[in-house]
Structure 1
Amino acid sequence: MTGAPLSFEAELPWLVAAIGVVLLGLCAWQLVAQRGRRLAWARRTALVVLAVAMAMRPAVPGGEVPTASIQARVFIMVDTSQSIAAEDWGSEPRLAGVQEDVVEIARAFAGADLSVISFDSQAVLRVPLTDDGSAVIEMVRSLRPEIAQRSRGTSVAVARDLLRTELERSEAADPASPAIVFYLGDGEHTAEGQPESFGDVAGLVDRGLVLGYGTAQGGRMQASGFDTGQEPGYVQDPSTGGDAVSRIDEGRLRAIAEQLGVSYLHREPALPIADALQPMAEADGEADLDRTEEARLELAWLFGAPLALLLGWEALSLARSLRATRGGFQGRGA
Structure 2
Amino acid sequence: MITFHPTLPVVVLVLAAIALAVCGWQLATGRGRRLAWLRRSLLVLLAVAMAFRPAVPGGEVPTATIQARVFIMVDTSQSIAAEDWGSEPRLVGMQEDVVEIARAFAGADLSVISFDSEAILRVPLTDDGSAIIEMVRALRPEIAQQSRGTSVTIAHDLLKAELERTEAAEPDSPAIVFYLGDGEHTAQQPPQSFDDVAPLVDRGLVLGYGTQQGGRMRVSSFDPAVQEQYLQDPGGGDAISRIDEAQLGAIADQLGITYLHRAPGLPITDALGPMAAADGEANLDRTEEARLEVAWIFGVPIALLLAWEGLSLARSLRATRGFLSREGAR
- Would you call these one fold, judging by a TM-score over 0.5? yes
- Equivalent in the alignment of 2:244: 249
Among residues 172, 178, 187, which one is paired with 1:176 in the alignment? Answer: 172
| Within-5 A mapping of 1:66-85 | 66-85=62-81
* DSSP-derived class of the 1:69 partner: strand
Aligned to 1:280: 275
2:254 counterpart residue number: 259
**Equivalent position SS for 1:215:** coil
Equivalent residues in 2 for 1:1-334 (5 A)?
5-10=1-6, 27=23, 30=26, 36-38=32-34, 40-228=36-224, 232-239=228-235, 241-304=236-299, 307=302, 310=305, 314=309
Question: Tell me, which stretches of 5 or more residues in structure 1 are unaligned?
Answer: none
Give the superposition deviation at 1:300: 2.3
Q: Give the Å deviation of 1:164.
A: 0.3
Aligned-pair CA distance for 1:45 = 2.9
Paired with 1:57 and 1:24, the residues of 2 have a C-alpha distance of: 20
1:326 CA displacement: 9.7
Q: Which moved more, 1:304-313 or 1:173-182?
A: 304-313
The answer to whether the Cα contact below 8 Å between 2:95 and 2:137 also exists between their aligned partners in 1 is yes
If the length of structure 1 is used for normalisation, what is the TM-score? 0.88
Shift in Å, 1:25: 7.5
Q: 1:191 to 1:316 in 2, by over 3 A?
A: farther
Amino acid corresponding to residue 293 of structure 2 in structure 1: E
Which moves more between the two structures, 296-305 or 250-259?
296-305
Aligned residues: 328
Contact 2:54 2:294 in 1 (8 A): yes
What one-letter code is carried by the residue in structure 1 that aligns with 2:262?
R
Q: What secondary structure is seen at the aligned counterpart in 1 of 2:43?
A: helix
C-alpha separation in 1, matches of 2:104 and 2:148? 35
Per-residue CA distance 1:136-155 (angstroms, 9 max, x = gap): 00000000000001000000
Question: Aligned pair in 2 of structure 1 residues 149, 35: CA closer, same or farther (>3 Å)?
Answer: farther
Distance in 1 (CA, whole Å) between partners of 2:5 and 2:104 is: 26
Shift of 1:15: 9.2
Which 5+ residue runs of structure 2 have no aligned equivalent?
none
Aligned residues of 2:221 and 2:227 also touching (Cα < 8 A): no
- 1-structure distance, mates of 2:40, 2:62: 43
Aligned counterparts of 2:9 and 2:194: Cα–Cα separation in 1: 44
Shift of the 251–16 alpha-carbon distance from structure 1 to 2, 3 Å rule, reads: closer
Bigger mean CA deviation after superposition, 56-65 or 281-290: 56-65
- Percentage of pairs with the same residue: 74
AA of the residue aligned to 2:214:
G
Q: Structure 1 310/155 Cα, relative in aligned 2: closer, same or farther at 3 Å?
A: farther
SS at match of 2:291: strand
Judged with a 3 Å threshold, the aligned counterparts in structure 2 of structure 1 residues 266 and 307 are, in CA distance, closer, same or farther, namely same
The RMSD of aligned alpha carbons is 3.0
Specify the code of the residue in structure 1 equivalent to 2:278. A
Residue 171 to residue 316, structure 1, CA distance change in 2 (3 Å): farther
Secondary structure, counterpart of 1:286 in structure 2: strand
- Secondary structure, in 3 states, of the residue corresponding to 1:258? helix
- Pair 320,102 (structure 1): closer, same or farther in 2 beyond 3 Å: same
Cα deviation for residue 228 of structure 1 reads 2.8
